[in-house]
Chain A
């Protein structure tokens, strides 16, 4: 009798549940922006909040790691077939192409995105086999950020225009106890980008790395040897932090943001430095950027801009909620440029208009883009296979640590390019 009463009661409770308890649809997001309260991470959080408000049934679960661990995590997720539904990745042949070839990425409908004011060539950077696989989010320029106050304190009047002038700043800054320049040496890719940049400044020809990868030129050609020597000269002159080769992205960025280093060699995705409340107001008001200096006697021009579209967002082909994932991506593409610019968090791959309240560094980056006469496209380390990327990064670590000569470095990457072209 008691059991019957209990069953009836249970039914009554079940029936009394409000019919409105509609199950939420969750999509998993992944990105390399662990700081969710500042700059880019905060922009994504706002986009997510707006998306959830517009789609009450949607639940968004974000997983975030620093840059390099994030890339590794995505590769592990791909191996384990557990990719997030929508995730940030890089458009490169070395990173996105293997995922596209493996059938992990959902092709997108270009008409969903082609009216969203993307800069010339931006969407095309995500096209493989004639299909659009991702949406670009940032326009990436290779620049040097600097702290105007630290420059002034050390008696440096203007940003250096040549590598010789850049090296000359090192002694002045060191005399004041300031690290002249920082970058992420541990991960080696910033040094590889700088190597490409130097080769272009020397030769005036941005296509040489592509030709070397296609084996119509050689990485052992004098231009590349000279570029490697210039890079070694910069390191040996004490331009970079002493622990360059074990200093990762966060460590380098913090040294600059905390006013311990005067310059930061990095891409325009760090535009948010001018608005990052992690750092002091004094730093934010003094941070600016300048064009990568010229090499004396080189054929490159100051307005040859090393620029590419790297960061992008893709949808997993195995997403169980593909329609919602694509809807999120469309929403992101519409909201990102305005919000990113409003918060001065990133230089979007879509057109933005200058505003009077823009930070100094944002104004400078816009000016650098406007003054560009030629652009490079993707750095060579990302134009080939993952193996080539690993090989050139390892060779760069050896070069920058003083373990091999410039000639040996170029021979190593030439062998790597040879292997990559044969696979």
Chain B
């Protein structure tokens, strides 16, 4: 062994780094480069094609209301998950942290069942529940005298987006709960007791001590929410397919439909490139914002 040791040798370092870097290049950089290349063409996915410059990008940004609708829907989903799903999940996790260990375990299992189910099952389950002809929701509504509310939830333009967001939140709730519960279990008892001794109410203990302590967990959940909302695809594809009209469209489904239904592979690739840029940009912004939020470190 040389005096510089095995890790002082640049060749050895290179030999250790190159395999990982090569994998990264082949699974990330190369496909993205192909996407960028095809996004500048009018390729149908097979056969001849022509290079058309930035025409696809121009159309996406200036003449494609469905793209903007998809983006808007993703933002709505992000807002709902962060400001509706997460507070409820946090509250439920907080309650679970106070009940008996046995009851907590049972309830956590129940809450997590939707997250453990296959997306296909979840989608089909809710499509059937929402079905206006034989769905249980409308049957219950009619039975309790609310016939006016027994509508076609997934195909009514006023309720479709809300209904699919409900399915997504229903399935994602278990994950948020799990993160928050795990976080709550790590909060040291002594800081909670110290807060109590200082005269803090239960509400103040949560808002002034526990939530700031859990800021890293909450940040992680929010970043995951942003990413999963942006790349939402399967549940939409399996439930409404983006309909009625394009009211429940999300970029993942839209670019798939463009590439493989409409035969506009080039345009679909341009959408995927824009999607990557928007998703990465939004994630970076969210992380910056979360980092900038002042934390009361006492």
- Which A residues form the contact surface with B (CB < 8 A)? 71-72, 75-76, 78-79, 98-99, 101-104, 179, 185-186, 241-247, 255, 260, 385-387, 389-391, 394, 397-398, 400-404
Contact = CB atoms under 8 A, between A and B. Distances in A.
A98 B47 contact: yes
A242 B132 contact: yes
Given A78-B46, A98-B46, A104-B46, A241 B133 contact: yes
Nearest to B241: A186
Contact of A386 (B130, B132, B247, B264): B264
B259 to A, nearest CB: 8
Given A72-B260, A243-B133, A246-B127, A98 B44 contact: yes
A413 B178 CA distance: 49
Contact of A255 (B44, B133, B260, B261): B133
A75 B260 contact: yes
Nearest to B44: A98
Contacts of B240: 246
A386 B257 CA distance: 11
Contacts of B127: 246
Interface of B: 44-48, 66, 127, 130-134, 151-152, 154-155, 157, 160, 239-241, 243-247, 257-258, 260-265
Given A72-B261, A246-B239, A246-B243, A401 B47 contact: no
Given A101-B47, A102-B48, A390-B261, A397 B133 contact: no
A179 B132 CA distance: 11
B252 to A, nearest CB: 15
Contacts of B132: 241-243
Contact of A246 (B47, B244, B262): B244
A387 B263 contact: yes
Contact of B244 (A104, A260, A401): A401
22 contacts: A71-B261, A72-B261, A76-B260, A99-B46, A101-B48, A102-B48, A185-B155, A241-B133, A242-B155, A243-B131, A243-B133, A244-B155, A245-B155, A245-B243, A246-B152, A246-B160, A246-B240, A246-B241, A386-B44, A394-B245, A394-B246, A397-B245
A247 B245 CA distance: 13
A397 B151 CA distance: 18
Contacts of B257: 390
